Structure 1
Amino acid sequence: MIFRFRLFPVAMLAAAVALSACDDKQGELNVQRIRDFFNAIKPAPLLLKGLKPGESTEADIRGTMGKPETERVFTDGSKRLEYPRGPMGNQTWFVDLDANGRYAGATQVLTAANFAKVQPGMHADEVRRLLGKPCDVAQYPLKPETVWSWRWLEDGVNQDAFFNVHFGPDGLVYTTSRSDILTGH
């Protein structure tokens, strides 16, 4: 009788291994999810470190940085891959590929210079192309307005803040603002 109970855990382990081998596709998806998670928290300099302008391919970029949030293809055949480092991150990287599919460069777009380009009358899509995906979208039906917010390092080093773009009911920018991030200390 004791012999049977000792074999039970071994039999269960063998069954689990056999069943997991049946679903290789699910295993690959789980590995990809883990890679995507670590790419999302990896500092950007480490992600961009091995990329060489004119040499690295789109496959190299995706292998290093993962799946982009958005892809934009331009009329000249070049492409832009968008990598927001959020929702709690304060950077969004635009990775540009030339018409031949080679890495042309990367730009961190959540900067004061880019925020200054957001002007009243701009359409939401123009703002999205300039700053990437917002980390938060809030609807205020009584006002009525929609506010998109991006986390960023206001002083470039250590002061997290929000840059906010306010859209009217017509979908056009009518103002911008900044707000502090409350930390609860």
Structure 2
Amino acid sequence: MKPLHAAALLLAAALVGCAVPEWQKPGTPQAEVERAMGRPTQTEPLPGGGERLLYSRQPAGQQVYHMDFDAQRRLVRVTQVLTLENFQALRNGVDTRDSVRRMFGPPALVEKVARFHGDILTYRILDNGEPRQAHVHVDPAGVVRRVMFTDERLRDPDPHR
């Protein structure tokens, strides 16, 4: 068997086992979703006895999915939450490191800079198909102080063009 053919077969076999969050249907039992999707990045209790499974594609990907289940452990909805609007909705002085982590999961990167005393939680997002980064500034007490956005350069432009 040629190496290229073998690699194509391995890729096809791997893709067959991949589950896509958006393809999960409401009403599907939680155990079935977890079997298809694998272990979630984190879980959070929901009001009324439900549970949220959070599946993150950070640090390389630009999606974080909330998969919400009711008290009977049936899928209610799937939501991709790494959006510009969700980061813009964060409240300076009110939201905390914990509330950010519950909403978005672990960041792609935690940084420090000289002009801010605290951590900067960086998440990779897509904004209308364009790669961007959301930077959430969290002070030493764990309170969100600022949210900033930058474009993400995935590759340097060709200097010979």
Partner of 2:124: 151
Partner of 2:42: 70
Percent identity for Structure 1 against Structure 2 = 31
Shift of 1:117: 1.2
After superposition, give the CA deviation of every residue in 1:148-184 in whole Å (9 maximum; x if it has no partner).
Answer: 01111112x2x10101100112211111101122322
Using the size of structure 2 for normalisation, the TM-score is 0.78
After superposition, give the CA deviation of every residue in 1:96-135 in whole Å (9 maximum; x if it has no partner).
Answer: 0000001111000011221121111111111122222211
| 1:166 counterpart = 2:142 | no
Over aligned residue pairs, what C-alpha RMSD do you find?
Answer: 2.0
**Given that residues 88 and 147 in structure 2 are in contact (C-alpha distance below 8 angstroms), is that contact kept between their aligned partners in structure 1?**
no
Unpaired segments ≥5 residues, structure 1: 1-37
After superposition, give the CA deviation of every residue in 1:31-50 in whole Å (9 maximum; x if it has no partner).
Answer: xxxxxxx58xx5x7x4432x
Unpaired segments ≥5 residues, structure 2: 1-13
Partner of 1:120: 92
Alpha-carbon distance between aligned partners in 2 of 1:145 and 1:184, rounded to the nearest angstrom? 30
Alpha-carbon distance between aligned partners in 2 of 1:66 and 1:126, rounded to the nearest angstrom? 24
Shift of 1:136: 1.1
Aligned residues: 140
1:126 counterpart letter in structure 2? S
Alpha-carbon distance between aligned partners in 1 of 2:152 and 2:85, rounded to the nearest angstrom? 21
RCO comparison, higher one (Cα < 8 Å, 6+): 2
Alpha-carbon distance between aligned partners in 1 of 2:46 and 2:138, rounded to the nearest angstrom? 26
2:138 counterpart letter in structure 1? F
**Alignment match of 2:52 (pick from 70, 77, 80):** 80
Q: Where does 1:133-152 land on structure 2 (aligned, <5 Å)?
A: 133-140=106-113, 143-152=116-125
Using the size of structure 1 for normalisation, the TM-score is 0.69
Partner of 1:99: 71
Moved over 4 A (4+): none
Sort the Cα spacing of 1:137 and 1:59 in 2 relative to 1 into closer, same or farther, 3 A.
same
Partner of 2:151: 180
Higher helix share: 1
Partner of 1:131: 104
Sort the Cα spacing of 1:141 and 1:76 in 2 relative to 1 into closer, same or farther, 3 A.
farther
After superposition, give the CA deviation of every residue in 1:10-57 in whole Å (9 maximum; x if it has no partner).
Answer: xxxxxxxxxxxxxxxxxxxxxxxxxxxx58xx5x7x4432x3212x11
